[in-house]
Amino acid sequence: MPPQSSYPPLVKPNLIIIGLGNPGDAYASTRHNAGFRALDILSTAFGEGKWLQKDKFLSDIQEARIVTVPVLLAKPRTFMNSSGEAVKKIVDFYKVNPQTHVLILCDDIDLPLGSVRLRNEGGPGTHNGLRSVALLYGEHYPRLRIGIGPKPPQGDLAAWVLSVPSEDDRKKLDDVLATLPDVIRKYVLGETIAP
């Protein structure tokens, strides 16, 4: 007999929500990890059980339920530029269509700080995590972008996204992240349709 797992088998999710970020404490509070922070908010609102490190997904995962809909939350353990590798592992395992069963959460320098934009498709822009996913699946998958504001004039883009927000900026980011459970609930229930 195979060894018994201490956890029940994973339920096939109706939706896989993947937050993009960089693993490790050094990046936890940076602007670029808004996707991870968003998942922490969703975990508090909808999560069931503990976060589990799943090497086969190259991710930390948690099962969740939004009303009656089974959902999987996932934080890739790859670095941002290789996010697509983890997304592919999860998509292949569950045999789902990214256009209908995956939602990517990430930061966006082209949106004002403290705003969100939900879309069913679009280019990756300057975001290397989205570019990594687009190389595998094109531009046709839903994504929710979290505005972190533009880099300062003459500033370095990498340094900006990997910096820690000021207290005021952090407050604006926290305020918009707190709205996400309601946004995602409406999305799952079909009350909010991404353009």
Q: Could you tell me the two tokens for 55? A: 């090497």
pLDDT of 178 > 50? The answer is yes
pLDDT band at residue 192, thresholds of 50, 70 and 90?
low
Q: pTM of the full predicted structure? A: 0.90
- pLDDT tens for each residue of 157-176: 888 888 899 999 999 999 99
More confident residue, 20 or 160: 20
More confident residue, 32 or 75: 75
- pLDDT tens for each residue of 21-50: 999 999 999 998 999 999 999 999 999 989
pLDDT of 6 > 70? The answer is no
Mean pLDDT of the region 51-73: 95
pLDDT given for residue 19 in this prediction? 96
The domain made up of 15-188 has a fold known as Rossmann fold (3.40.50)
pLDDT of 98 > 60? The answer is yes
pLDDT given for residue 58 in this prediction? 95
Q: 32 an active-site residue? A: yes
From 16-20, 114-118, 139-143, 151-155, the region with the lowest mean pLDDT: 151-155
pLDDT of 4 > 80? The answer is no
Which candidate in 32, 101, 127, 140 is catalytic? 32
Instruction: Tell me the pLDDT of the chain averaged across its residues.
Output: 88
Instruction: Report how far residue 48's alpha carbon sits from residue 176's, in angstroms, rounded to the nearest whole number.
Output: 23
Residues facing 16 on adjacent strands: 72, 102
DSSP per residue, 113-160? TT-EEEES----TT-HHHHHHHHHHTT-S-EEEEE--PPPTT--HHHH
Q: What is the largest CA-CA distance in the chain?
A: 63
